Amino acid sequence: MSDVRNVLVPDGLEGERVDAAVSRLFGLSRTRVADLAAEGKVLLEGTTVPKSARVSAGDRIEVTLPAVDESPTLAVVAEPVPGMRIVHDDDDIVVVDKPIGVAAHPSVGWSGPDVLGGLAAAGYRISTSGASERQGIVSRLDVGTSGLMVVCKSEYAYSVLKRAFKQRTVDKTYHALVQGLPDPHVGTVDAPIGRHPGGDYKFAVMDSGKHAVTHYELLEAFRHASLLEIKLETGRTHQIRVHMAALRHPCVGDPTYGADPTLARKLGLERQWLHAMGLGFIHPGTGDYVHFESTYPQDLQTALDRLADMS
């Protein structure tokens, strides 16, 4: 059986091409979407469409993916990842600064680059248990979110850090540019997150969801948006994006969760303004606390500069 997924087009994707919209909504590469459209596996309001067709808000997009048992076995393929920076490397762990458009590991429906493939191409060996395509992965970042990730190189490090993430003893710091000005300027969002009932690949605050806690603090206020520092207690999928949208302050450049596409265009953004800035934990080998930091990638810095000029 095939895996059929569908979602309604949000207002923020009004007028976008099918390949761009499906890429944003389902986390697929545009090349993969183009192939699916050519095979007649992308439907817009029940009708097959070319990749260049335009979508309207409220349209239902349906995508048919090969079922897991029809797909080739997932495996890490050594492929260089341009822009991926090694922040730290030792016998136990490697910390990377992940660029956008890169997944943490291979997965069904994703044909783009991934962190494990990039590490393999650079000569790194990951030796941990679990599924081969996810070896060493103790936490992930969305394809459209840049910043710091740790990958474990040894079985012992994997066990220790996996437990640390589960017990919430890892310090995870993000910077996010959100629309408007949150009030209060410092606050906590404690709201459960689950899969959105209206479509796959989207999440929402809902009573039946999993416990999720996000702390935020205003760093700088601009005329149209605010730069926040965010610390996560939990690590749910799309947690920051969902919680900020629930406050009616979605991440700039995130139409899936209600962001204004006009502002994103003015700032030159093609993804949500969200970056994993800091990562701190007890090193599994030395027992010492270690902390790593990242700087804004060029697209986010450019958007911030343009926003400052608009204020």
Poorest-pLDDT segment among 20-24, 174-178, 189-193, 209-213: 20-24
pLDDT of 71: 45
Does 115 have pLDDT greater than 90?
A: yes
**Tokens standing for residue 185:** 């300027």
Arithmetic mean of pLDDT, 67-80: 67
C-alpha to C-alpha distance for 175 and 177, rounded to whole angstroms: 7
Arithmetic mean of pLDDT, 86-96: 96
pLDDT tens across 198-257, in order?
A: 766 789 999 999 999 999 999 999 999 999 999 999 989 899 999 999 999 999 999 999
pLDDT of 73: 58
pLDDT of 132: 74
In 3-state terms, what secondary structure has residue 309? helix
Please list, in sequence order, all residues whose beta carbon lies within 8 angstroms of the beta carbon of residue 183, skipping any fewer than 6 positions away.
Answer: none
**Contact of 117 with 81, CB cutoff 8 Å:** yes
**Contact of 278 with 148, CB cutoff 8 Å:** yes
Arithmetic mean of pLDDT, 161-187: 95
Distances (CA, A) of 137 to 120, 150, 233: 14, 7, 19
Residue of 298 and 112 predicted with greater confidence: 298
Confidence of residue 194 (pLDDT cuts 50, 70, 90): very high
pLDDT of 70: 43
User: What is the 8-class DSSP label of residue 196?
Assistant: -
User: What is the 8-class DSSP label of residue 247?
Assistant: T
Does 130 have pLDDT greater than 70?
A: no
Mean pLDDT, the chain, as a whole number? 90
Report the predicted TM-score, pTM, of the whole model to 2 decimal places.
0.76
**Tokens standing for residue 71:** 């797909």
pLDDT tens across 33-52, in order?
A: 888 888 888 999 888 999 99
Does 69 have pLDDT greater than 50?
A: no
**Catalytic (active-site) positions:** 142
